A and B are shown apart, each in its own frame.
Chain A
Amino acid sequence: MSQDDMLGDAVERLEWDERKQDETPVKKWRQLTRRTALTGAAAGIAAAALEACGSSKSSSSVTGVSSSTAATSSGSSAASSIFGVSQSYKFTLVNHVTTNPFFTPTQNGAADACKLLGCSYQWTGSENSVVGEMVTAFNTAVSAGVDGIGVCLISPTAFNQPVEKALAAGIPVLAYNADATGNARLAYIGQDLFVSGQEMGQHIASLVPSGDVALFIATPGTANIQPRIDGAQATLKSHSSITPHVVATGAALTQELTTIEAYITGHPSYKGFFAVDGGSTQSVGQVIQKHNLNGKVKGGGYDLTPITQQTLASGALQFTIDQQPYLQGFLPILELYLYKASQSLTGPADVNTGLKFLDKTTVIPYNSTKSRFEGTGTAPGVQKS
Chain B
Amino acid sequence: MAVADSTPPAEAPPQGPAKGWARRGGALSWGQRFLTLREGSIIVITVVTFVYFAASVPHFLTGSGLKALLPYFAPFAILAAGEVFVMINAEIDLSVGAVYLFAPFVFYKLNVNAGLPLVPAMIGALIAAMLVGLFNGLVVSVVGISSFVTTLGTLFTLSGLTLIISHATQVTTPGTSVVKVGTFAQIFGGGTYSELFWAIGIAIVLQLVLSFTRWGIYTVAVGGNRLGASEAGVRTKVVLTRNFVLCALLAGFVGIMEAVRAATTTPDPSGANVILFQAISAAVIGGTLLQGGSGTVIGAFIGAIFLGVLQDGLNLKGVSANYFYFYLGLAILIAMAFNTYVSRVRTGSGRG
Contact with B along A26-52 (1 / 0, CB 8 A): 000000000000000000000000000
Secondary structure of the A contact surface, majority rule:
helix
Chain B contacts with A in 299-332, Cβ cutoff 8 A: 311-312, 315-316, 318, 320-322, 324-325
Whether the pair A259, B60 counts as a contact (CB closer than 8 A) is no
Which residues on the A side are within 8 Å of B258 (C-beta)?
254
Minimal beta-carbon separation of A360 from chain B (angstroms): 15
A259-B315, A286-B178 known; A248 and B261 CB under 8 Å? no
Whether the pair A248, B321 counts as a contact (CB closer than 8 A) is yes
Closest residue on chain A to residue B190 by CB atoms:
A290
Please choose the segment from A5-13, A179-187, A302-310 that sits at the chain B interface, where 4 or more of its residues have CB less than 8 A away.
A302-310
B275 within 8 A of partner (CB): yes
A245 within 8 A of partner (CB): yes
B87 within 8 A of partner (CB): no
B51 within 8 A of partner (CB): no
Q: State which of A128, A220, A254, A267 has its C-beta within 8 Å of the C-beta of B322.
A: A220
Contact with B along A329-360 (1 / 0, CB 8 A): 00000000000000000000000000000000
Q: State which of A99, A248, A258, A286 has its C-beta within 8 Å of the C-beta of B324.
A: A248
Chain A contacts with B in 292-333, Cβ cutoff 8 A: 305-307, 310-311, 314
Contact with B along A275-297 (1 / 0, CB 8 A): 00001001101100110000000
Bound CA span A23–B143, Å:
58
B269 within 8 A of partner (CB): yes
Please choose the segment from A75-83, A100-108, A161-169, A196-204 that sits at the chain B interface, where 4 or more of its residues have CB less than 8 A away.
A100-108
A217 within 8 A of partner (CB): yes
Whether the pair B71, A261 counts as a contact (CB closer than 8 A) is yes
B27 within 8 A of partner (CB): no
B99 within 8 A of partner (CB): no
Closest residue on chain B to residue A286 by CB atoms:
B178
A127 within 8 A of partner (CB): yes
Bound CA span A360–B266, Å:
24
Whether the pair A99, B270 counts as a contact (CB closer than 8 A) is yes
Which residues on the B side are within 8 Å of A286 (C-beta)?
178, 262-263
B170 within 8 A of partner (CB): yes
A146 within 8 A of partner (CB): no
Which residues on the B side are within 8 Å of A285 (C-beta)?
178
The residue in A127, A266, A268, A282 that gathers the most chain B C-beta atoms within 10 A of its C-beta is A266
Whether the pair A307, B168 counts as a contact (CB closer than 8 A) is no
A104-B167, A310-B178, A375-B169 known; A262 and B266 CB under 8 Å? no
A262-B65, A265-B65, A378-B169 known; A246 and B262 CB under 8 Å? no
B272 within 8 A of partner (CB): yes
Whether the pair B274, A306 counts as a contact (CB closer than 8 A) is no
Which residues on the B side are within 8 Å of A290 (C-beta)?
178
Which residues on the A side are within 8 Å of B270 (C-beta)?
97, 99-100, 127-128, 251-252
Whether the pair A252, B274 counts as a contact (CB closer than 8 A) is yes
Which residues on the B side are within 8 Å of A55 (C-beta)?
none
Q: State which of A99, A251, A267 has its C-beta within 8 Å of the C-beta of B274.
A: A251
Whether the pair B169, A267 counts as a contact (CB closer than 8 A) is no
Contact with B along A228-255 (1 / 0, CB 8 A): 0000000000000000011110111111
Bound CA span A100–B270, Å:
8
A221 within 8 A of partner (CB): yes
Q: State which of A99, A104, A217, A259 has its C-beta within 8 Å of the C-beta of B269.
A: A99
Contact with A along B157-185 (1 / 0, CB 8 A): 00100010001111110000011000000
B264 within 8 A of partner (CB): yes
Chain B contacts with A in 27-70, Cβ cutoff 8 A: 57-60, 64-65, 67-69
Bound CA span A217–B324, Å:
12
Contact with A along B61-101 (1 / 0, CB 8 A): 00011011101100100000000000000000000000000
Which residues on the A side are within 8 Å of B325 (C-beta)?
248
Which residues of chain B have a CB within 8 Å of any CB of chain A? 57-60, 64-65, 67-69, 71-72, 75, 159, 163, 167-172, 178-179, 258, 261-264, 266-272, 274-275, 311-312, 315-316, 318, 320-322, 324-325
- Please, could you name 28 A-B residue pairs with CB atoms under 8 Å apart, sorted by A? A99-B163, A99-B268, A100-B268, A100-B270, A103-B168, A127-B270, A217-B321, A246-B321, A251-B274, A252-B268, A252-B272, A253-B268, A253-B271, A254-B262, A254-B271, A257-B262, A261-B68, A262-B68, A262-B312, A265-B67, A265-B68, A267-B59, A268-B59, A289-B178, A305-B170, A306-B172, A310-B178, A376-B169
Sort A-B residue pairs by CB-CB distance and give the 4 closest, nearest first. A252-B271, A262-B68, A248-B321, A266-B59
